[in-house]
């Protein structure tokens, strides 16, 4: 379970995130939806221990990501904004490195890597250097890396951004599968179809604040709109940033 409790974050004088609270439960896919610059990435970075909140708490299974990031990170798999692969390492080497960093033994690391290569259909690229990978392949390696230590909680920052249709569908399938196996999945997006396709719960952010929190149906009922797009526009109070 991932909990944001009244998170605050400033960069200099700019307030990036203000009083953000929500909960992502086990066995659910929770989406953090909002236009560009709404504070999605900043909120997620506080939850996965990269940024320290100026106020409030970021909890992963009760571990405080601000106070003890390592404890939170052990229970967490993260796919950040940029996949960030090493061009000279192969897909398998990325997985082994991540496994060792998360504290797995050499044997466990090898087994987990082999299992994930099988599960994410990466056999063709497993032993090739990542420099030549497509966007979809990169994202796949990054996802496998996030899952290497079989974490209970998974945070994905815009996991389908820049992917083609087949890769996007595969990624959404993985997200649903993770939740079905009882994991807590929190992902950010600015794409409305994605929310309708995979989410159990939606948290809408606008200008650093939570403006709505509920199931897609609840949001429709609350706004009295017939489709999510209209509901979203009504909730964030403007049409800015609705590129997709």
**Segment interacting with another protein (CB under 8 A) among 19-27, 67-75, 120-128, 222-230:** 67-75
Q: What is the chain's length?
A: 244
160-199: contacts with another protein (CB under 8 A):
none
Residue 48 CA to residue 203 CA, distance in Å, equals 18
Q: Of 146, 230, 129, whose CA–CA distance to 186 is shortest?
A: 146
Q: Closer CB to another protein, residue 80 or residue 136? A: 80
- H or E stretch including 152? none
62 sits near another protein (criterion: CB under 8 A):
no
100 sits near another protein (criterion: CB under 8 A):
yes
Q: Of 68, 110, 115, whose CA–CA distance to 93 is shortest?
A: 110
CB of 238 to another protein, least distance (A): 27
88 sits near another protein (criterion: CB under 8 A):
yes
153 sits near another protein (criterion: CB under 8 A):
no
DSSP state of 191: -
DSSP state of 90: B
**Segment interacting with another protein (CB under 8 A) among 24-32, 91-99, 162-170, 229-237:** 91-99
Q: Rounded to 5 degrees, what are φ and ψ at 94?
A: -60, -45
Using an 8 Å Cβ cutoff, are 192 and 229 in contact?
yes
82 sits near another protein (criterion: CB under 8 A):
yes
76 sits near another protein (criterion: CB under 8 A):
yes
11 sits near another protein (criterion: CB under 8 A):
yes
CB of 102 to another protein, least distance (A): 6
| Biggest alpha carbon–alpha carbon distance for the chain | 55
Residue 171 CA to residue 177 CA, distance in Å, equals 10
**Segment interacting with another protein (CB under 8 A) among 85-93, 158-166, 168-176, 205-213:** 85-93
CB of 151 to another protein, least distance (A): 10
68: left (phi over 0), alpha (psi -120 to 50) or beta: beta
Among residues 27, 67, 80, 110, the one that binds another protein under rule CB under 8 A = 80
Among residues 15, 50, 197, 220, the one that binds another protein under rule CB under 8 A = 50
128 sits near another protein (criterion: CB under 8 A):
no
Residue 54 CA to residue 20 CA, distance in Å, equals 12
Residue 87 CA to residue 32 CA, distance in Å, equals 30
101 sits near another protein (criterion: CB under 8 A):
yes
Residue 221 CA to residue 235 CA, distance in Å, equals 12
126 sits near another protein (criterion: CB under 8 A):
no
Could you list the residues that contact another protein (CB under 8 A)?
11, 48-52, 69-71, 73-74, 76, 78, 80-89, 93, 97-98, 100-103, 129, 142, 145
């Amino acid at each position: 379970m991932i909990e944001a409790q009244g998170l605050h974050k400033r960069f200099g004088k700019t307030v990036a995130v203000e009083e953000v609270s929500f909960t992502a439960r086990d066995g659910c896919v929770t989406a953090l939806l909002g236009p560009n610059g709404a504070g999605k990435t900043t909120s997620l970075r506080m939850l996965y221990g990269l940024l320290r909140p100026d106020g409030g708490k970021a909890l992963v299974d009760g571990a405080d990501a601000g106070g003890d990031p390592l404890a939170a990170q052990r229970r967490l798999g993260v796919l950040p904004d940029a996949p960030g692969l090493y061009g000279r390492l192969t897909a398998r080497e990325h997985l082994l490195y991540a496994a060792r960093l998360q504290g797995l033994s050499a044997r466990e690391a090898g087994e987990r890597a082999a299992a994930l290569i099988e599960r994410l259909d990466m056999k063709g690229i497993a032993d090739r250097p990542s420099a030549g990978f497509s966007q979809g392949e990169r994202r796949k390696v990054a996802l496998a890396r996030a899952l290497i230590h079989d974490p209970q909680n998974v945070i994905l920052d815009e996991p389908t951004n820049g992917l083609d249709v087949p890769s996007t569908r595969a990624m959404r399938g993985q997200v649903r599968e993770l939740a079905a196996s009882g994991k807590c999945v929190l992902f950010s997006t600015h794409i409305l179809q994605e929310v309708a396709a995979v989410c159990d719960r939606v948290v809408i952010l606008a200008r650093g604040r939570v403006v709505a929190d509920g199931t897609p149906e609840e949001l429709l009922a609350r706004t009295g709109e017939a489709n999510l797009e209209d509901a979203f526009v009504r909730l964030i109070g403007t049409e800015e940033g609705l590129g997709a």
